[in-house]
């Protein structure tokens, strides 16, 4: 300072106090401990004869689940380093079940096996990076063997066997398989509670759009992942809804019909969307907004298809229509019996358009496909045809209690997704038998010295699913694995009857894409964890970065 007074010393906490670190085998061991904790909780749900997991539900009764992904999501560990390992395992499991909604237990068991063997190899002096390379290569060989074993879904009863294996019930499997076979792998199939006992399925003619809602705040269910409107008005425009004033005027005129309404527009800006969301959240309206799918001329044609299907007209000059809204709006509005929208897709069923005109449009699009000038145009036309000439399925179920309702809805949803995967990629013998066969191929393959240790980890881990399924059913896993290892290919252990059978003939079939995705996810998370040499977490008792000093008042 200018008066000669020394400046006050500024003290900052040393970096070492702001974090806690472990390295080498010490870090790997504690990360493995956390991964094991998650895997041990998830793997009890594996197989047709498995146990449930009771999860605390604060403020309400505990929840009993048999869904491995739900179990993984609920786990947090006290030790910070162990929790980091648990998060590794959790993210790998959730990645495996992201699309097919199944394979959580398989992923956990295989990943745990690879990690366990890998830590032993590293402790014995193996190089972690070369070990990971061997894991990747062995996984590639195993997936190739699984794909080779896959039998096409068009084979008689294949879809039904896959659905029955996943759902654990022959009647449920038959319902789901019939619906997926009829509608295709990409069709919309909704699972929802119904008023009467039993499981029922029905179909409805519908139109699909590859666009979801403009905002998740428009969702109507408690989970926030879908929005449903019933007996709704459909307003389709090729224009841009710009500004709060324009949206308020549209809402006022559509809400005057005293019905829920859907707005499909080329674009809705933030101010206009805010008006729609606020009115919906306040309960003043039941509404949805979807961006028009497609690009360029194709977008306009899709909007015309939607207007025809719903019985309305596309509004091209939005300001002109608004000036004569009272007189001209009704003839532009369509209707739909049901609209289901998710983040990236929508399906509209029971459109109010003339069925004969819709059939003529479908025939017109089909006739344009063959003479189309290039592959891009043909692909666009096929997309329009599949979206307009499609259907939607609904599976209704009834449960006596809330716990049963949640479990049945999860099981039906998973069965639908697994059956879809089987329709795309075929089925393989279930019950862990396919992984056992893949492990034999890995064992017979010639490996370089650098890859041998990683391949050994994968080969031994591939035996774990079969062993765990048997153990969950009360049998000796090691004895079952040894017995099946000496039998012909395709034979496995039916834990429901305690018999060794031809798995496909017994109807125990898994979807090949689910099996390969679980293995790929398990190998990925395991190799990532095994190549970790340092683990760091911030100490909770130290501010980092240090908080700014507050000015003092006299």
User: Domain-by-domain residue ranges, the chain?
Assistant: 17-151+429-538, 158-187+400-422, 208-396
**Terminus-to-terminus CA distance in the chain, angstroms?**
21
- Residue 352's SS3 state is coil
89-128 pLDDT, tens digit per residue, is: 999 999 888 876 788 999 999 999 999 999 999 999 889 9
Partners of 392 in the β-ladder: 188, 204
Which CATH number applies to 208-396: 3.30.70.100, 3.50.7.10, 3.40.50.300, 3.40.50.150?
Answer: 3.50.7.10
427-429 vs 509-511, strand pairing mode: antiparallel
Q: What is the DSSP string of 261-330?
A: EEEEESEE-HHHHHHHHHHHHTTS--EEEEEPPS-HHHHHHHHHHHHHHHT--EES-HHHHHHTHHHHHH
Provide the phi-psi class of 138: left if phi over 0, else alpha when psi is between -120 and 50, else beta: alpha
| DSSP tag of 487 | S
- How many Cβ atoms are within 10 Å of 147's Cβ, its own excluded? 15
Mean of the per-residue pLDDT values of the chain = 83
User: What are 239's two structure tokens?
Assistant: 């224009």
C-beta separation of 85 from 35 below 8 A? yes
CA distances from 312 to 177, 245, 456 (A): 35, 24, 64
C-beta separation of 464 from 431 below 8 A? no
User: What are 4's two structure tokens?
Assistant: 């000669």
Which CATH number applies to 17-151+429-538: 3.30.70.330, 3.65.10.10, 3.30.43.10, 1.10.560.10?
Answer: 1.10.560.10
DSSP E strand boundaries for 354-411: 390-397
- Residue 217's SS3 state is helix
- How many Cβ atoms are within 10 Å of 448's Cβ, its own excluded? 11
CA distances from 379 to 161, 359, 368, 375, 520 (A): 33, 20, 11, 6, 31
Which CATH number applies to 158-187+400-422: 3.30.260, 1.10.150, 1.10.10, 3.30.43?
Answer: 3.30.260
C-beta separation of 465 from 106 below 8 A? yes
Per-residue pLDDT of the chain (554 residues; tens, 9 = 90+): 445 555 555 454 444 455 677 888 888 999 999 999 999 999 999 988 888 888 888 877 788 888 888 899 999 898 889 999 999 899 999 988 887 678 899 999 999 999 999 999 999 988 999 999 999 999 999 999 999 988 876 555 788 888 888 887 788 888 888 888 877 776 677 787 776 667 777 776 778 788 888 888 888 887 777 888 999 999 998 888 888 888 888 888 888 888 999 999 888 989 999 999 999 998 888 999 998 887 777 888 888 888 888 888 888 876 655 655 555 677 788 999 888 888 888 888 888 888 888 888 888 888 887 777 777 777 778 777 777 766 677 787 877 777 778 778 888 888 888 888 888 888 899 889 999 999 999 999 999 888 899 999 999 999 999 999 999 999 998 999 999 988 888 899 999 888 999 988 888 888 899 999 999 999 999 999 999 988 888 766 554 455 556 565 54
C-beta separation of 199 from 396 below 8 A? yes
C-beta separation of 428 from 158 below 8 A? no
């Amino acid at each position: 300072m200018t008066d000669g007074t020394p400046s006050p010393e500024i003290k900052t906490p040393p970096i070492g106090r702001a974090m806690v670190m472990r390295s080498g085998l010490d870090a790997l061991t504690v990360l493995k401990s956390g991964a094991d904790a998650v895997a041990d909780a998830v793997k009890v749900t594996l197989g047709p004869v498995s146990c449930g997991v009771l999860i605390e539900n604060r403020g309400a009764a505990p929840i009993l689940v048999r869904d491995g992904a739900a179990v993984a999501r609920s786990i947090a560990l006290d030790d910070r380093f162990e929790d980091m390992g648990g998060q590794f395992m959790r993210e790998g499991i959730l990645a495996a079940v992201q699309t097919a909604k199944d394979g959580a237990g398989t992923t956990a068991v295989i990943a745990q096996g690879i990690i366990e063997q890998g830590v032993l190899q590293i402790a014995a002096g193996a190089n972690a990076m070369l070990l990971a390379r061997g894991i990747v290569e062995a996984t590639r060989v195993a997936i190739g063997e699984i794909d080779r074993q896959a039998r096409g879904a068009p084979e008689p009863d294949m879809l039904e066997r896959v659905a029955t294996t996943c759902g654990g019930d022959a009647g449920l499997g038959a319902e789901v398989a019939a619906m997926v076979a009829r509608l295709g792998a990409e069709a919309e199939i909704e699972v929802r509670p119904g008023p009467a006992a039993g499981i029922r399925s029905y179909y409805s003619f519908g139109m699909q759009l590859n666009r979801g809602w403009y905002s998740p705040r428009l969702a109507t269910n408690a989970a926030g992942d879908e929005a449903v409107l019933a007996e709704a008005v459909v307003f389709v425009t090729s224009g841009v809804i710009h500004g709060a004033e324009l949206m308020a005027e549209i809402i006022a005129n559509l809400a005057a019909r005293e019905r829920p309404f859907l707005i499909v527009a080329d674009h809705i800006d933030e101010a206009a969307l805010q008006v729609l969301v606020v009115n919906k959240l306040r309960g003043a309206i039941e509404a949805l907004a979807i961006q028009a799918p497609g690009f360029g001329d194709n977008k306009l044609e899709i909007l015309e298809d939607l207007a025809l299907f719903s019985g309305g007209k596309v509004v091209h000059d939005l300001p002109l229509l608004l000036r004569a809204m009272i007189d001209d709006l009704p003839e532009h509005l369509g209707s739909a019996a049901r609209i289901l929208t998710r983040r990236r897709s929508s399906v509209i069923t029971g459109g109010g358009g003339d069925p004969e005109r819709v059939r003529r449009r479908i025939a017109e699009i089909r006739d344009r496909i063959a003479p189309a000038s290039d592959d891009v145009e043909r692909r666009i036309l096929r997309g329009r045809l599949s979206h307009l000439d499609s259907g939607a399925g609904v599976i209704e179920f009834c449960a006596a209690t809330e716990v049963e309702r949640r479990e049945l809805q999860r099981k039906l949803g998973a069965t639908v997704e697994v059956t879809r995967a089987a329709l795309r990629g075929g089925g393989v013998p279930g019950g862990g038998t396919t992984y056992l066969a893949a492990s034999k191929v890995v064992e017979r393959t010639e490996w370089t010295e650098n890859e041998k240790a990683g391949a050994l980890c994968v080969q031994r881990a591939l035996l774990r699913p079969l062993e765990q399924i048997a153990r969950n059913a009360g049998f000796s896993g090691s004895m079952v694995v040894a017995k099946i290892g000496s039998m012909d290919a395709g034979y496995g252990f039916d834990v429901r009857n305690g018999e060794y059978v031809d798995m496909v003939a017994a109807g125990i079939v898994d979807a090949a894409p689910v099996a390969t995705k679980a293995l790929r996810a398990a190998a990925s998370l395991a190799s990532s964890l095994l190549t970790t040499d340092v683990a760091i977490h911030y100490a909770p008792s130290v501010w980092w970065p240090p908080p700014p000093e507050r000015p003092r008042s006299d």
